[in-house]
Structure 1
Amino acid sequence: MSLMTLLPFIVLIGAMFLMTRSAKKKQQAAAQMRDHMTPGTGVRTIGGMYATVKEIGDDTVTLEVAPGVHAIYAKNAIGAVLEDAEYNRIVHGIDDEPQSDTPVVPDDASSLTEAPKTDLTKDEAEAPKLDLGKKDETPQDEAPKGDEPKDGKADGEAGAK
């Protein structure tokens, strides 16, 4: 047999070896992470639920999913063991980091301009009229002359302009 016919099989076996090796490393890292769980630790399950560890068994873990509500899960269902600060930030909205004195910059410039604020709850009659620069062609004191339209045609008359 030639080397060219065996080469695809050799590459395939090598790729399978590398994939199983990386999968084993991930499994070992996950098992090591689960071994660091202690009662009171915040965790996230693989389903995305956040809970607090209450008891740890050989293959199971008892989680407090709400105050006074306990559920038993398989250890393999724990997706991540969280640090206290991260768990409190996500679950309770408590931020342990001190707030900086840096001012918050708005996403747009609307808060930087001094535009008059209008009350949207008022009726239109009470709302101020905006002048858009368009002037009336006819003064208010003077009515249009006659009942004729501007184009000189009566209603219903057809014709080209």
Structure 2
Amino acid sequence: MNFAAEQSSSGVVNLLLLLAIPLVFYFLLIRPQSKRRKEQLQMQSSLKPGVRVMTTSGMFATVTAVDDDGVVLEIAPGVEARFVKQAVMQIVSEAEAEDDEELGDDPEGGDDADERIDLSKDGDAGAQDAEAGDGAKAEGEADEAPKAKAAGKPSS
């Protein structure tokens, strides 16, 4: 009988584990996700013109118009684009909006923008090849002119 009692208690434990697993999934995965989705929908329904937002692609913009199925965002001064509301990920706070504007003030890319970047493997080899190519072209043009005269064609 002792064996039968142990077997029935282990069966109860197994049954409880099978019932507990879906509850764990619900509280750890499904419930938080539905809560985030509800907050996202609430944020998207509260959009109004003049609010700074960040899209799901990471683009910062200002809401200029809102309708039932989408929003019009000003992504640069004078440049507007239409997005679905689901593309708006979050409303940006004033501090984040100011940081974004500070980063966007220098379109040239900083102090190094005036420096020329050499993409050749040898720094001077590319310049020497370019000079040699220009010299060969000039010689080739000079050779074509006498051939054209010999053939009776006017040179251009």
Band the TM-score falls in, shorter-chain normalisation: 0.5 to 0.7
Contact 1:46 1:78 in 2 (8 A): yes
- Residue 5 of structure 2 is aligned to residue 7 of structure 1: no
C-alpha displacement of 1:50 = 0.4
Alpha-carbon separation, structure 1, partners of 2:102 and 2:45: 25
Candidates 9, 16, 24, aligned match of 2:25: 16
Larger Rg: 1
From the superposition, tell whether residues 64 and 24 of structure 1 become closer, same or farther in structure 2 (CA, over 3 Å): same
Alpha-carbon separation, structure 2, partners of 1:30 and 1:51: 18
Let me know the Cα RMSD of the aligned residues: 2.1
Structure 2 stretches of 5 or more lacking a match? 1-7, 105-156
C-alpha displacement of 1:49 = 0.5
Percent pairwise identity: 31
The structure with more helix, counted as a fraction of residues:
2
- Residue 80 of structure 2 is aligned to residue 70 of structure 1: yes
C-alpha displacement of 1:8 = 2.9
C-alpha displacement of 1:69 = 1.5
Alignment of 1:5-154 (within 5 A): 5-18=14-27, 19-92=29-102
Contact 1:41 1:84 in 2 (8 A): no
Query: Which residue does 2:149 correspond to in 1?
Result: none
Q: Give the number of aligned pairs.
A: 94
C-alpha displacement of 1:93 = 5.2
Letter in 1 for 2:62: T
| TM-score normalised by L of structure 2 | 0.53
Alpha-carbon separation, structure 2, partners of 1:28 and 1:49: 23
Structure 1 stretches of 5 or more lacking a match? 95-161
Q: Does the residue aligned with 2:21 lie in a helix, a strand or coil? A: helix
